[in-house]
């Protein structure tokens, strides 16, 4: 958890009100009179008491990670001192990555000192569901191992074979990969990764996502191959997730109950396939309500056709880095067109984009204090984008898990954040299910709206929407005409005069 200036204590109600009204959070700061040297020694002792090595502590403190988060406090001594397998569940943004990365790096340093491993030996495998999360995990590992010589490689889909070969030719000790691409790598008999007899550490992040369709089968194959050689009985395993232990209370229909049970069966199968010790340590920090305490949650009820107006209203009055979620790529494209016309400079993020463009947009968003990213749920899992102030659910998420993961992009590391849900009448039933699953006794608070100011924006938004619609029509006609001309040329025929 990064160190912040001390502030005067405020009630939860005051914090919520200040978030909604975008009050200046930098006021009333107290002066910290502790000397830098004393502060450094105190922070160092906090980490050393958890059995973290000096080199890693030095790296963490230089990056202002002054004290561990709760999941790290509970995990590190058990994983480092006791060398136990870990099954961990904690809120998104709680520091799960370092909770397994620090023990892995600490043990690797010890193995190296004891001549039980050597540089260039494939020692650690970290599996994660998305390319973006793999990149984030590598970034965290590099922070922690700055004063070691360990190398980390990311192996994900969309990477050229040549680049992948160059990375693996460097013989990285740590490989962070998506299951699909790593399984392909194993099929290709890559020299560096084929021999897993010396694999000492295995971590699986975002486990709930892993058991969804498309990931589970490949993951099972990888685990079966890893465990086919039972000579390495000392391998340490980590399973982490944000919603690992989440139980839903709205699965009354048989179909939904069956899906829930199927996922629980898959989770049990996965834990068994990983080869956990007889008594792995289970650390569950997921709260009853599923979201962090520093998060202010609100709602806007409005007709479907007026969502764009309320969205522009919010973006006009509430500056700050904003992540907007939709349920479809078509919706992203429409909003991107309208908001571009309204000079809001939106950046899209979805699965149909090239990986290079996705990473470029993430970088641009992260570097802009008032950046606006419009994303599908491809961005909701594990991305560590700093200092996101607002989360907008333009469309109500289809599940409680998605709501938790989306909202978890803000209010990270004890910072204040706002999550606001736009609800049209057709989506009320989805909203009700989320509230029920989260065991909420009351609705989310209504977000305050200045009706007079809202009315002044209507004409501007409707004009932008109409221009966007006309642009789309023209583009569609142009595309169709181009297709006809291309087809006619290939068939060597003449087009009708009506086709321009």
Q: Which residue has the tokens 């988060």?
A: 69
Sequence ranges of the domains in the chain: 30-250+257-284, 295-464
In three state form, how does the secondary structure of 326-359 look?
CCCHHHHHHHHHHHHHCCCCEEEECCCCCHHHHH
Reported as type and span, the H/E element at residue 385 is none
Q: Which CATH superfamily is domain 30-250+257-284 in?
A: P-loop containing nucleotide triphosphate hydrolases (3.40.50.300)
Q: What is the pLDDT of residue 402?
A: 86
Q: What is the pLDDT of residue 410?
A: 84
State which residues of the chain have pLDDT below 50.
1, 5-35, 245-257, 288
d(CA 291, CA 301): 21
Q: What is the pLDDT of residue 229?
A: 66
92 contacts 285 by C-beta, under 8 angstroms: no
Q: Report the SS3 class of residue 201.
A: strand
CB atoms within 10 A of CB 471: 12
Sign of the C-alpha dihedral computed for residues 302, 306, 310 and 315 taken in this order? positive
CB atoms within 10 A of CB 151: 16
Q: What is the pLDDT of residue 32?
A: 37
Q: Which residues neighbour 249 within 8 Å (Cβ) at sequence distance 6 or greater?
A: 436, 437, 439
Query: What Cα–Cα distance (Å) separates residue 42 from each residue in 48, 66, 73, 227?
Result: 10, 9, 15, 42
336 contacts 348 by C-beta, under 8 angstroms: yes
295-464 CATH pick, 3.40.630.30, 3.40.630.10, 3.40.50.300, 3.30.930.10: 3.40.50.300
Start-to-end CA span in the chain (Å): 62
Strands (E), 114-196: 124-127, 152-155, 174-177
Q: What is the pLDDT of residue 190?
A: 78
Q: What is the pLDDT of residue 114?
A: 92
Residue by residue, DSSP assigns 421-489 as EEE-GGGHHHHHHHHHHTT-SSPPEEPP--HHHHHHHHHHHHHHHHHHHHHHHHHHHHHHHHHHHHHHH
């Amino acid at each position: 958890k990064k160190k912040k200036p001390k502030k005067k204590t405020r009630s939860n109600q005051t914090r919520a009100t200040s978030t909604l009204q975008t009050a200046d959070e930098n006021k009333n700061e107290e002066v910290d009179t502790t000397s830098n040297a004393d502060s450094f020694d105190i922070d160092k002792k906090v980490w050393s008491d958890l059995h973290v090595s000096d080199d890693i502590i030095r790296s963490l403190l230089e990056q202002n990670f002054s004290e561990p988060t709760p999941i790290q406090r509970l995990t590190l001594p058990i994983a480092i001192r006791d060398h136990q397998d870990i099954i961990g569940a904690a809120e998104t943004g709680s520091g799960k990555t370092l909770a397994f990365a620090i023990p892995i790096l600490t043990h690797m340093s010890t193995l190296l000192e004891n001549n039980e491993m050597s540089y260039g030996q494939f020692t650690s495998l970290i599996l994660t569901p998305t390319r973006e999360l793999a990149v984030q995990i590598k970034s965290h590992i590099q922070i922690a191992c700055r004063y070691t010589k360990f190398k980390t490689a990311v192996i994900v889909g969309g990477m050229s074979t040549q680049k992948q070969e160059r990375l693996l030719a460097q013989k990285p000790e740590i490989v962070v990969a998506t299951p699909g691409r790593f399984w392909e790598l194993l099929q290709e008999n890559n020299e560096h990764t084929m021999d897993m007899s010396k694999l000492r550490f295995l971590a699986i992040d975002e486990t709930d996502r892993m058991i969804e369709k498309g990931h589970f089968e490949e993951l099972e194959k990888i685990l079966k191959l890893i465990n086919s050689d039972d000579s390495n009985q000392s391998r340490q395993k980590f399973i982490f997730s944000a919603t690992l232990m989440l139980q839903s209370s709205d699965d009354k229909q048989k179909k939904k109950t069956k899906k829930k049970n199927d996922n629980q069966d898959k989770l049990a199968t996965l834990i068994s396939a990983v080869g956990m010790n007889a008594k792995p340590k289970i650390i569950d920090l997921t709260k009853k309500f599923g979201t962090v305490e520093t998060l202010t949650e609100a709602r806007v009820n409005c007709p479907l056709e007026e969502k764009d107006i309320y969205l522009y209203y919010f973006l006009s009055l509430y500056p700050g880095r904003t992540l907007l979620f939709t349920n479809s790529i078509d919706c992203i494209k429409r909003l991107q067109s309208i908001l571009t016309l309204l000079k809001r400079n939106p950046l899209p993020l979805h699965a149909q984009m090239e990986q290079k463009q996705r990473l470029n947009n993430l970088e641009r968003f992260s570097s802009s204090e008032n950046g606006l990213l419009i994303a599908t749920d491809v961005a909701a899992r594990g991305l560590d984008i700093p200092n996101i102030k607002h989360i907008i659910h333009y469309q109500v998420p289809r599940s409680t898990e998605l709501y938790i993961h989306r909202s978890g992009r803000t209010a990270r590391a004890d910072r204040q954040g706002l999550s606001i849900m736009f609800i049209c009448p057709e989506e009320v039933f989805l909203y009700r299910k989320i509230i029920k699953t989260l065991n909420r006794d009351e609705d989310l608070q209504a977000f305050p709206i200045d009706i007079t100011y809202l009315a002044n924006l209507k004409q501007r938004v409707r004009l932008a929407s109409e221009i966007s619609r006309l642009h789309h029509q023209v583009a569609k006609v142009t595309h169709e005409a181009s297709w006809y001309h291309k087809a006619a040329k290939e068939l060597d025929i003449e087009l009708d005069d009506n086709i321009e």
